[in-house]
């Protein structure tokens, strides 16, 4: 009699956001439509009380937590976030427009389990105003990067990148809009890659697992 493995429980995602949460909504829609499987959104957490992304999450019937960061020491705030995420059983933390640098203590609580998306082809143009940086530099190609988060800003191992051409008449706003459209496709795809477990990290390289020899 063959042995049947029990189905693996869905991975619980914890979404961190500070604003409108368009990437969060893209992830939620990908899960709803079945394009992103094997996970659920356990909680949406914001450090801004009136973040539109919180209202969007509530309208979807998702659990939300507000932990206002203003006026709270960074280490204390991040400890509070870790406690909230653990209460909701979060396995993988997904930053979706979360506008604060995470402490080392937070990252130690979720080792190699924090993802971020950045609107440039890292390592080019890290930090704020990446689209403006690309235009000022004269880049012909821009895009987005999904990466694991480490203690440096926009530095962790790259999971996936997608390119966007820079048009001659682009402004910061038009380029940002086109990159964001690509982000909405790239982030669910990158999460699916991580959930699959079919990869290895060697140095700074994310390497998909090699297929088994036939």
Where along the chain do its domains lie? 10-111, 117-197
Closest CA to 97 of 26, 162, 169, 37: 26
Confirm if 214 and 166 have CB atoms less than 8 A apart.
no
- pTM for the complete prediction? 0.92
- Topology at the third CATH level for domain 117-197: Rossmann fold (3.40.50)
Residue 181 has pLDDT above 70, yes or no: yes
CA distances to 1, 10, 38, 198, 208 from 4, in Å: 9, 18, 18, 21, 26
The whole-angstrom separation of Cα 202 and Cα 1 is: 39
Over residues 183-199, the pLDDT tens digits come to: 999 999 999 999 999 88
Closest CA to 101 of 84, 125, 126, 121: 126
Mean pLDDT score of the chain, rounded to an integer?
93
Instruction: Catalytic residue, from 77, 88, 118, 129: name it.
Output: 118
CATH match for 10-111 among 3.40.50.2000, 3.60.20.10, 3.40.50.170, 3.20.20.70: 3.40.50.170
The answer to whether domain 10-111 and domain 117-197 are alike in fold is yes
Over residues 41-64, the pLDDT tens digits come to: 999 999 999 999 999 999 999 999
Active site residue 155: no
Closest CA to 120 of 168, 167, 178, 169: 178
């Amino acid at each position: 009699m063959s042995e049947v493995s029990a189905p693996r429980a869905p991975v619980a995602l914890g979404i961190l956001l500070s604003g409108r949460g368009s990437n969060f909504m893209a992830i939620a829609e990908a899960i709803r439509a079945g394009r992103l499987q094997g996970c659920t959104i356990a909680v949406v957490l914001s450090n801004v009380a009136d973040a539109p992304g919180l209202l969007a999450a509530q309208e979807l019937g998702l659990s939300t937590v507000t932990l206002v960061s203003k006026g709270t020491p960074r280490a204390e705030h991040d400890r509070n976030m870790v406690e909230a995420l653990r209460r909701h059983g979060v396995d993988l933390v997904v930053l979706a427009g979360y506008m604060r640098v995470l402490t080392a203590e937070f990252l130690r609580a979720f080792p190699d389990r924090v993802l971020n998306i950045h609107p440039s082809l890292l390592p080019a143009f890290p930090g704020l105003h990446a689209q403006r940086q690309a235009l000022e530099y004269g880049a012909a190609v821009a895009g987005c990067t999904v990466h694991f988060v480490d203690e440096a800003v926009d530095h962790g191992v790259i999971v996936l990148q997608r390119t966007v051409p820079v048009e001659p008449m682009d402004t910061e706003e038009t380029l940002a809009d086109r990159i964001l459209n690509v982000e909405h496709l790239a982030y669910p795809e990158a999460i699916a890659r991580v959930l699959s477990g079919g990869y290895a990290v060697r140095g700074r390289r994310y390497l998909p697992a090699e297929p088994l020899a036939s």
